[in-house]
Structure 1
Amino acid sequence: MLDPADINKVLVVTAHPDDIDFGGAGTIATFVDRGVEVVYLLATAGDAGGFDRTVDAEDMAELRRAEQVAAAKQVGVTDVRNLGYPDGMLEATLALRRDIARVIRQVRPDLVFTSTPERNYARIGPSHPDHRAVGSAALDAVYPDARNPYAFPELLNDEGLEAWTVREVWLIGSPTPNHYVDVTATVDRKIAALRAHETQTGHLPDLEKMVKTFLTNNANAAGLPEGSYAEGFQVVSTG
């Protein structure tokens, strides 16, 4: 596993606005606090999300883009990018792999966060088809696409993007987490980031209690002291 001191750049690749905030905003805040550069890459604008049926898909996309920018600021992230794929229709295509590989080569991160491509039978939420699709495509973009100069040669020949090897991937929503991050010091910023997603969380009667209960269970699994909060990930080595 990477030494935290060796992590200088992080790329987060998710399907929708709010995915990283539910799955890892507390951890992202801890990285930013250490001076790590973090970039968010969203495959979709979340145009199929929300609960207000008077808002059409185009307006919902604009709302959710703005919400993600506001949420990112709560944890210190200012670089938020969107690939513009349709929400709810994401597939792990060659085109998606190429688009993610392009950004990996642009950002040149040490660590990539993405959603697990596995179905989680204990909790169905992380298993949204878009989550699994983006996780599969991101892992393929990490290995072999981004590091292989012969993969998608147009990225090098036309765009001048040299191959890049990501050193580690952390999967969000995995049914088998093997690494926990203590986010006790950043939990309030995580909750503030989630509140910024008004279209997604405004209907929840007690968001803070829900989030803290989940994070407490993670902290217990990690063996952290009482009163701690933690986020869990499955760490995948690319070596």
Structure 2
Amino acid sequence: MFQELPDTLDRVMVIAAHPDDPEFGCAGTVVKWALSGKEIVYVLLTSGDKGSHDPDLRPGRMAALREGEQRAAARELGVERVIFLRHPDGLLENTLELRRQLSSLIRQHRPHILVTIDPWRHYQLHPDHRAAGQAALDAMYASREWGIFPEQLVDDVEPWRVREAYLFWTDNADHWEDISASIETRISALARHASQVSPNMEKLAERIRNWTHEMGKEAGYEHAEAFKRFQF
């Protein structure tokens, strides 16, 4: 069936490797879009269960803690739903099964815009970040094809074509979102990830203000987030 072009791009899916990745990468844009009426869904591929150097904090407890932090941050930003796929932190791979899961979610939620990590960033050392971005883009391609994962096409689920992709943490930015009005909300949401940012949040907040200010200079904004943007 031919998919008509939408009048507005009002559904967004953010796919990232860990809790706190969206707040570090694109939360100023997320809250700005949410306030404008866009419906936003987060998909976290892991629960960040290895996100502690404390040997007494077991992965199961760490995962529960970080999922709670992510939900709190998402609420502050106006995100409507947070989905955790609970793949193992630090061991994420762009497997066929992961692409199958993401394709199913894309077909169910039908986002017009997909936001994820740029897997082609120079010297992107974290393997989970590379895998998350590549899997998200591969699933975006698969979700539009009738012949890929056809078992998903039941109960009125059909192939879905994403209209735009925004890649954050990129070396090849060609699109900037003005977050001058939402920078402090971005910082406040990041502070919800206390297990990762305490007790250094004050210094981190200043670094983020400086970082987004430098990005804003590229487009004439006081603060901005930079993306590689694709339109399909």
Normalised TM-score (structure 1): 0.90
Q: Do the aligned partners of 1:9 and 1:37 also contact (CA within 8 Å) in 2?
A: yes
List per-residue Cα deviations over 1:36-67 (Å, max 9, x = no partner): 00000010001011344431111000000000
Confirm or deny that 1:209 pairs with 2:206.
yes
Separation in 2, partners of 1:146, 1:69: 26
Corresponding position of 2:136 = 138
Distance (whole Å) between structure 2 residues aligned to residue 23 and residue 169 of structure 1: 14
Q: Which residue among 8, 30, 34 is the counterpart of 1:6?
A: 8
Question: Equivalents in 2 of 1:101, 1:208: separation in Å?
Answer: 35
Q: How far did residue 214 of structure 1 move?
A: 0.6
Give the distance between the partners of 1:23 and 1:17, measured in 2 at CA: 11
1:45 to 35, 39, 47: 47
2:75 paired residue number: 73
Q: Distance in 1 between matches of 2:93 and 2:175?
A: 28
Per-residue CA deviations over 1:102-123 (Å, capped at 9, x if unaligned) read: 11011101000011111333xx
Partner of 1:231: 225
Counterpart residue number, 1:198 = 194
Supply the AA of the counterpart residue of 1:162: E
After superposition, the C-alpha distances for 1:110-165 in whole angstroms (9 at most, x for unaligned) are: 000011111333xx5xx42111101111111111x1001110111114x6521100
**Residues 1:222 and 1:53: Cα distance change in structure 2 (over 3 Å):** farther
Where do 5+ consecutive residues of structure 1 fail to align? none
Does the aligned pair in 2 maintain the 1:112–1:169 contact within 8 Å? yes
Per-residue deviation, 1:82 = 0.7
Aligned to 1:114: 116
Match of 2:217 among 215, 220, 228: 220
Question: What is the correspondence of 1:55-134 to structure 2 with a 5 Å cutoff?
Answer: 55-121=57-123, 127-134=125-132
CA distance in 2, matches of 1:232, 1:128: 20
Pick from 151, 154, 174 the counterpart of residue 178 of structure 1: 174
Q: Would you say the 8 A contact 2:104–2:143 is kept in 1? A: yes
**Corresponding residue of 1:168:** 164
Question: How many corresponding residue pairs?
Answer: 226
**RMSD of the TM alignment (CA)?**
1.6
Q: Distance in 2 between matches of 1:9 and 1:140?
A: 19
Give the residue type in structure 1 aligned to 2:48: G
Aligned partners of 1:28 and 1:75 also within 8 Å: yes
Tell me the distance in 1 between the aligned counterparts of 2:22 and 2:112. 18
1:154 maps to a residue whose letter is E
Q: What is the letter of the counterpart of residue 76 of structure 2?
A: Q
Q: Which runs of 4+ in 1 moved over 6 A?
A: none
